[in-house]
A and B are shown apart, each in its own frame.
Chain A
Amino acid sequence: MKNILLKTEQLSKSFSTGGTLQHVLKNISLELCQGDFTVIMGASGAGKSTLLYALSGMDTPSLGTITFGGRVISDMGQDELAVFRRSHCGFVFQQIYLIEGMSLMDNVLAAGLLVSKDKKALLAKARELFSCVGISEDTWKKFPAQISGGEAQRAGIVRALINSPEILFADEPTGALNSKTGLDVLDTLTRFNEQGQSVVMVTHDMRSARRGSRILYLKDGAILGECRLGRWAHGDRERHEKLSAFLSEMGW
């Protein structure tokens, strides 16, 4: 029996635009377990990113509750959520959003120092993570503008993991990368997941989705279907066919 890390009940999110209420998420109830690699898929405008940001406490739901590690986070205020996010959640964005004026190491430390005051330990951990994602010491001293997109995204993953979050949230992490560097990033995420890191990833890329152990398909703000693929294994043909069939069934 796996540990339930995150649970939503009747989660809804609406936006008011020009006097019209738009229901982006509709009564979503789900559970995310420790060690899962959950992939959220769906067409553009289905509410994938909105669900991801609601689950991670970056956005607050209009209705329903979100319980993270036994704490209800859907009622928290902005500052409380910020404090919660810094030690429980890690984020990898499509646009990466490394801070331009900081070196890669400083970007990582800027996140790490929010939780720990032990700079020495942080530096050691950051070095280890950089080494894990294949970024050398020469590179981590560089600024974001001086490195490739793939390196930047892998640095983004290091930043996301520096505080050992319970869940790593990734919003289309390969969306802005080319095929080769995208694959490197997926390999990195998979490797961390294999080491026990829970991951929730939004994507509309089939190749990325294959890495997930559980696929949720969203349509018009509601979960249309779910597919469990089990652990990732390279060259698993059956897994690929199962996912293709599921997506086909969902109308992908």
Chain B
Amino acid sequence: MKKCILLARSNLRGAKGQAAAITALILFAAVMLNLWLMLSLDYKQNFDRCHDRLHAEHVTLVVDEDSPDMRDFLKKSLEDDTRTDEFAFDSVLHMVGSFDYNNGNVNSELVILEKETALTRSIGRVEILEEGSAASGVYLPVLYKSDRTAVGKTIDISIGNSTMTYTVCGFFNSVMAGSHNCSMCALVLTDDLYAELERSGHAPRATLCSVRLNDRADSESYESGLKNTVAARYPAARTVSNSYALVYQSRYISQMVCAAILSAMAFFILLIALVTLYSNITNYIREHMTNLGALKALGYTGRQLTAALMMQFLSIALLSAAAGAGLSYSLFPYLNAMMIAQTGIPYTVRFLPVPYGITLLLLGSAVAVTVWLSSRRIKKVEPIVALRRGMQTHSFRRNHVPLETAGMPVTPALALKTTLSDFKRNITVCITMLMLSLVVVFSGLMTENIIRDTTPFLNLIVGETADSCINVQEDIEDDFLREMAADQRVEKIYLYNSLEVRHAGGLGLMATVCDDFSKVNNPKVICEGRFPRYDNEIALAAKYARENGLKTGNEITMTAEGREAAYIITGFTQTTNNLGKDCLLTLDGYRRLGRLSNASYYLNVAEGTDIDAFHAEVTDRFKDGVNATVNVAATIGGATAVYVSLMTILVIAILSLSALVITFVLFLLVRNMLNHKKRITASKRPWALPQASSFCRRLCPSCRQ
């Protein structure tokens, strides 16, 4: 052990620069690796911890009816299902609504609870995270906390056609309804304001049904089945629901994207570190051949010399990995803040021994294997040969592409010879360039498609975009359409309504119903095949189709409102909205299943139109006939602002880190090359002979080194 320490110390003395660069590379890899592991292993578990702590539900269903008959029916249905563990009913107010968020709007199905009810629910209670002194006002999900919505400030919340101004009393955490990504968004009102809103009739009373299951893996199918059961009995009742699976996935999309990027970076940096290490050790053997020979002459075995190298690099790796993993804890709060802005679920940064241990183990093992592989040649070094002829005998150089047998012209043969003779260095350069290209392409794509112009990102994430969305009741639909057709500001209007249907024998799908798909703004929603044109056609989410082995031309049976109809699949959709569980139907196609009691219309308006003023005008004209208006651009802007800022930070971080890594690798390469050249000395210039033999510099690849 002592002798290995002596040797390792001596080696380090002679290669401080290389040791520093490898330390830095492993440090960066450890930072990335530990961040990735913390995000992957613990961050999502935080959702389950939070879910358990608040005794949250696995399936949530809100039905716009709060009658004893409805509750009895629900109770019986739930009790009859063996998958049910426990359930609870609460009275809430339910209406589509919106409020300011991230310089835009958040538009969601608002589930409004009275404060005492929210805090004391037997299933899915909310926890207050921050509270001010105001006795009357609203509590918002913590996701929406910002300078503009700080405690004590006022916020305008549109509920249906009315805008209410409330004082922000505080912020709460709700696992299943604490974000617009959950299909519904909870708001908590103090009892006086709740009573006032209830009396005003702006938001109808509804039943909030919260169900805990024996096995949370059943949540999706349970939700779908429950919704269909209710729809069959109460076809006119408006419902909104979510499941554990949907919320779990949708609240952690950003975390997954971030974790994937971090892991890719971590493994790339690690790969570069290992290739550099490999190259360094083989160079070390070549450069220190006489030293190795002398040590072997003294009685060192190949194994002992390898052990010294192993100790040297393992201590560097483990110390750097420990420091890097430790350093990641100083960066994690910033990452955590970005993630909480996406997930809306509080997470307390704490020391996580498992990711820390895995980081050390992974980096340590990778370095150990690399050292072992690269130092195997030491065993072959014979002391006498190494001492008497040193480097030349053990240069390990092969005569790649012997000119006497090479079946190619001399210039490419020489080029190939040069390339192969510096194979390891070329591999390092290749991997570095690969990483550089990947980083540049990734950063370019992200900058172009998300940061600079969000359209491609929105096309993929949101699917269809327009300037405005107006939801109207059936009885004013004709008048509304007539007026819109006559309005000079309206450039295009088409029905674009989302509602739930169920694939017979499968899951519930979000169906988008359109009267004419040729009018949609984003035809790229279809990635294969075409939009449905006739009432017996359907386009299906590609992910869902792949999972169920469905192809274009196949027939699929859908159910809704107690009816069934068969459709032919005409194409596949590619939006990530609804987590790949959606479909497209024509209006006539949907009418085979049910009736649209109210319809959402998407409008493109002339440039410069004040959309909010336009909505106010339409609402004023049709009064209660308009259920809701949505400023689509503002809503999308609010939701995408977080993604854009997250991506900007990631791109900057990735570019900075890559620049550092590439600098270190180039430093190591140049240093190795210079050391090597120094040893060979001017008398052994590889280009001298070809030049003397009438090769011009242009023809001789070695000359360009």
- CB neighbours (8 Å) of A113 from chain B are 2-3, 6
A241 within 8 A of B: no
Bound Cα distance from A98 to B288, whole angstroms = 12
Q: Which residues of A contact B606 (CB under 8 A)?
A: none
Q: Are B297 and A106 in contact (CB under 8 A)?
A: no
- The contact string, 1 if C-beta is below 8 Å from chain A, for chain B 1-41, is 01100110111111000000000000000000000000000
Chain A interface size band reads 20 to 34
**Contact residues of B: prevailing secondary structure:** helix
Decide if B293 is an interface residue (CB 8 Å cutoff): yes
| A179 interface residue (CB < 8 Å to B) | no
Instruction: Tell me, in angstroms, the Cα distance from A243 to B2 when the chains sit together.
Output: 47
In chain B, residues 537-567, which have Cβ atoms closer than 8 Å to a Cβ of chain A? none
Is A101's CB under 8 angstroms from B2's CB? no
**A37 contacts chain B at the CB level, 8 A cutoff:** no
Is A111 touching B10 in the complex (CB atoms < 8 A)? no
Among A79, A100, A110, A117, the residue within 8 A (CB) of B298 is A110
Contact yes or no, A159 B298, CB < 8 A: yes
Q: Does A86 contact B387, Cβ atoms closer than 8 Å?
A: no
| Contact call B294/A97, Cβ cutoff below 8 A | yes
Q: How far is the CB of B675 from chain A (nearest CB, A)?
A: 13
Closest to B290 in A: A97
Chain B, residues 290-311, CB within 8 Å of chain A (1/0): the string is: 1101111111111100000000
Whether B6 pairs with A82 at a CB distance below 8 angstroms is no
Task: Output the nearest chain B residue to A117 by Cβ-Cβ distance.
Answer: B2
**Quick check: B298 and A111 within 8 Å, CB to CB?**
yes
Are A110 and B290 interface neighbours, CB within 8 A? no
- Looking at the assembled complex, report how far the CB atom of B98 sits from the nearest CB atom of chain A, in whole angstroms: 70
A77-103 toward B: CB 8 Å interface, digit per residue (1/0)? 011001111110001010101111110
List the B residue with the shortest CB-CB distance to A89. Answer: B299
B12 to chain A, nearest CB (A): 8
Q: Which of A49, A101, A106 has the most CB of B within 10 A?
A: A101
Flag A58-91 by CB within 8 Å of B: 1 or 0 each.
1100000000000000000011001111110001
Bound-complex Cα distance A114 to B383 (A): 17
Least CB distance from A110 to B in Å reads: 5
Q: Is there a chain A Cβ closer than 8 Å to B382's Cβ?
A: yes
A196: min CB distance to chain B, Å: 22
Residue in contact with B294 in the complex, picked from A83, A87, A93, CB distance below 8 Å:
A93
Residues of the A chain whose Cβ atoms lie less than 8 Å from the Cβ of B302: 78-79
* Complex Cα spacing A59 to B299, Å: 13
Q: Are A111 and B293 in contact (CB under 8 A)?
A: no
A119 within 8 A of B: yes
The verdict on B441 contacting chain A, using a C-beta distance below 8 Å, is no
Structural contact, A97 and B388, CB atoms closer than 8 A: no
- Judged by a CB distance under 8 angstroms, whether B616 is at the interface is no
B384 within 8 A of A: yes
A114 to B9, CA, bound (A): 16
CB distance from B303 to the nearest CB of A (A): 7
B6 and A91 contacting across the interface, CB-CB below 8 Å: no
Indicate if the CB atoms of A82 and B296 lie closer than 8 Å: yes
Residues of chain B within 8 A (CB-CB) of A91 are: 297-298
- A86: chain B residues at CB < 8 Å are 298-300
Q: Please, how many angstroms separate the alpha-carbon atoms of A96 and B7 in the complex?
A: 18
Assuming A59-B384, A106-B6, A110-B6, is B301 touching A82 (CB within 8 A)?
A: yes
Is the C-beta of A53 less than 8 angstroms from some C-beta in chain B? yes
- Is A155 on the interface with B (CB-CB < 8 A)? no
Known: A79-B301, A97-B291. Contact between A109 and B6, CB under 8 A? yes
Is B7 a contact partner of A58 (Cβ separation < 8 A)? no
Q: Restricting to A21-80, which residues have a CB under 8 Å from any CB of B?
A: 49, 53, 58-59, 78-79
User: Are the CB atoms of A114 and B6 closer together than 8 Å?
Assistant: no
Query: Could you tell me the distance between the alpha carbons of A119 and B293 in the complex, rounded to whole angstroms?
Result: 24
What is the CB-to-nearest-CB distance from A136 to chain B, in angstroms, rounded to a whole number?
22
Shortest CB-to-CB span from A150 to chain B, Å, is 19
Residue of A nearest to B3 (CB): A113
CB distance from A2 to the nearest CB of B (A): 26
**How many angstroms from the CA of A227 to the CA of B172 in the assembled complex?**
103
Give the residue name and chain of the A residue nearest to B296 (CB).
A82
Cα distance A95–B386 when bound, in Å? 13
CB within 8 Å of A: which B508-532 residues: none
CB distance from A56 to the nearest CB of B (A): 8
Determine the distance from Cα of A101 to Cα of B312 in the docked complex, in whole angstroms. 14
User: How far is B294's CA from A117's CA once the two chains are assembled, in angstroms?
Assistant: 21
B437 to chain A, nearest CB (A): 38
- The answer to whether residues A102 and B294 also contact, given A83-B301, A114-B299 and a CB cut-off of 8 A, is no
Contact residues in B for A78 (Cβ distance below 8 Å): 301-302, 379, 382
Chain B proximity of A87: nearest CB distance (Å)? 7
Within the complex, the shortest CB–CB distance from B436 to chain A, in Å, comes to 34
Of B12, B297, B300, B302, chain A has the most CB atoms within 10 Å of the CB of B297
- Is the beta-carbon distance between B387 and A93 smaller than 8 angstroms? yes
Chain B: CB-nearest residue to A114:
B299
Per-residue contact bits, chain B 608-645, to A (CB 8 Å; 1 contact, 0 not): 00000000000000000000000000000000000000
In the docked arrangement, what's the CA distance between A115 and B12, Å? 24
- Smallest beta-carbon distance B679→chain A, Å: 13
Chain B residues near A79 (CB-CB < 8 A): 301-303
- Please give me the residue from chain B that is nearest to A85 by CB atom: B299
- Does the CB pair B382–A49 fall under 8 Å? no
Shortest distance between the CB of B157 and any CB in chain A (Å): 72
Given A59-B382, A85-B298, 12 other A-B residues pairs in contact with their CB atoms under 8 A: A49-B388, A53-B384, A58-B297, A85-B297, A91-B298, A97-B291, A97-B297, A99-B291, A100-B291, A101-B13, A110-B295, A117-B2
19 contacts between A and B (CB under 8 A): A58-B384, A84-B299, A86-B298, A86-B299, A91-B297, A93-B297, A93-B387, A97-B290, A97-B297, A99-B10, A99-B291, A99-B294, A101-B12, A109-B2, A110-B3, A110-B7, A111-B298, A114-B3, A114-B298
Top 4 A-B pairs, shortest CB-CB distance: A86-B299, A101-B10, A97-B294, A113-B3
